[in-house]
Amino acid sequence: MLAIVDTHFPWLLSGFRYWENYQFYNIDKEVLFFSLNKMNDYFPTEVHPLEHITQYPITDIYCVFLNHTLGLLDYPKEIPGKQNYGLSKLIQERNISIHATIYPGGGYEENFLDQAEEGLRFLGSHPNVKNVFTNVDDVKRIVPRAHRVAGVPVNTDFYEYAQRQQSDKIHLLFAAFNRREKGFKYFVKAFNRLAPSKYHIHIVGDWAKELYAIRNSNFTYYGPLLPADLRKVYYKCHIFINPTYRGSSAFWNRHIHKRYITLDGFPTAAARDAMSTGCCLISTNSRHDHTVFVPAEDYLEIREKSPEDIIKALEYLYCNKDEILAMAQKGSGKIKKNLDYRKIVAFKYNIITNKDEGSAPF
């Protein structure tokens, strides 16, 4: 019996994890779901508290992120965000197989790489860890048997493609949780230098205290939005702008104030969802990840912390509006081909359950 264990669930704002779990249920109605912190969003079957997992004849556990997987195995060393769940004895006694997806973040932090790599070696040698899925080259290097996936899955049914109409005024979208590394101030610096008659920006997230920096009124602020409401904003916009960059955030560890680098995956979850609906993407690419998306073909790539690059990209697209539609269609097509949640979850499920794995979905 397969169990899927998540941290905060069911939680629509968890994005890809919600839709991935949803698709596991669509494939196999016998899958059980457990949550460390049970949330209240809709899910089509019961989600159990993690402490109840001992009551069921579990044979396999699937989870996402390095710190979460190490927590299930009561890994004795420190990883950012890890807490041990006291389940390692149960896992060993019942010989439960562990299957995990390791994406960027979730304990895989840039200047905690030594600790992360040690944790990965622990996973690679642990007798109960049977499969690791990843879109990170270093994970493949350390865990050679790891299966490659193209990236975070997208619900391409929920975020269905719809071609935008050309317009004299281009609608731009900035959507992210408030964090300095999301690059909001660089986006605003660029926007303040653009002709108000050409562009309107839509801003989603907890940015109310930052809006004072915008010098004109041609913007709409929504605050944080649930996925169904955010999707409506996607369809209003032509371009999604993601100026995220490498940065640092405070992390307390044994009363010592340390710094660790935070770095988003590429494209970000919101950017992928927006692209799936037909938004053209302008984005930094701090990870230099060109596995799926080709710059100047599927999206426009900009440098970090560069208002000038944002302006240049927007002015180019304004003068070549057909490029917006062409690039958006190519980007959405790449998502449908490589990141569709049905294909990725089926690929993982077949491997976890020892069915014919076939080929990777990209």
Superfamily designation of domain 2-152+340-352: Glycogen Phosphorylase B; (3.40.50.2000)
For residue 38, give both structure tokens. Answer: 């049970």
What are the boundaries of each domain within the chain?
Answer: 2-152+340-352, 170-338
Q: Are 2-152+340-352 and 170-338 in the same CATH fold?
A: yes
For residue 141, give both structure tokens. Answer: 């290097």
- For residue 358, the model assigns a pLDDT of 60
Tens of pLDDT, residue by residue, the chain (362 residues)? 999 999 999 999 888 999 999 999 999 999 999 999 999 999 999 999 999 999 999 999 999 999 999 999 999 999 999 999 999 999 999 999 999 999 988 988 777 889 999 999 999 999 999 999 999 888 999 998 899 999 899 999 999 999 999 999 999 999 999 999 999 999 999 999 999 999 999 999 999 999 999 998 999 999 999 999 999 999 999 999 999 998 755 444 444 444 445 578 899 999 999 999 999 999 999 888 898 999 999 999 999 999 999 999 999 999 999 999 999 999 999 999 999 999 999 999 999 999 766 666 66
Entry pTM: 0.90
- For residue 69, the model assigns a pLDDT of 98
> Is residue 349 a contact partner of residue 62, using CB atoms and an 8 Å limit?
no
| Pairwise CA distance, residues 116 & 110, whole Å | 9
- Please give the sequence-ordered ranges of beta strands (E in DSSP) within the chain, or none if there are none: 2-9, 32-38, 47-49, 60-64, 97-102, 129-134, 147-148, 170-175, 199-204, 219-223, 239-242, 247-253, 256-262, 280-283, 300-301
b vs e for 1-31, b when ≥16 Cβ sit within 10 Å of the residue's Cβ?
ebbbbbbebbbbbbbbbbbbbbbbbebeeeb
Strands 300-301 and 147-148: unpaired
CATH 3.30.750.24 describes domain 170-338:
no
- For residue 262, the model assigns a pLDDT of 58
